[in-house]
Amino acid sequence: MGSNTKQTSSQVASLAGKTLQSGSSSGIERSLAGSALRQAGTAAQTGAKMEGRASGALDNARSSATTKTLAGSVVSQSNRKR
C-alpha cells in the first residue's frame, strides 16, 4: 500500500469519534468513522474494499450528511491509481 499525504481533518476526526460513541450510528457510519480515525495523523491510505463502501455511500441518495462527510474523507485518501 502506498503512502498518503492527506490526513483526516480535526473536524472530521471529531465527527468520527462522536459517530463511534453514538448508539444510533449505522454500521456503514461506524465503518467509515473507524477508517477516518485510522487515517488521522498518519500516512495510512484507504483500502480498496473501504474505498468501494465509501463510494457506494456517496452514491446513495438515502445516506445521511454524516455518512457522506465521512465517506468523502475516506475516498479522498484512497489510492489515485485505482
Place of cell 484507504: 46
Q: At what angle do helices 65-76 and 27-38 cross, to 10 degrees?
A: 40
Helices (H), the chain: 10-21, 27-38, 48-59, 65-76
64: alpha, beta or left, given left = phi > 0 and alpha = psi -120 to 50? beta
pTM of the model: 0.87
Nearest to 73 by CA among 41, 46, 43: 46
pLDDT in tens, the chain (82 residues): 456 577 889 999 999 999 999 999 999 999 999 999 998 888 788 999 999 999 999 999 999 999 999 999 999 988 766 5
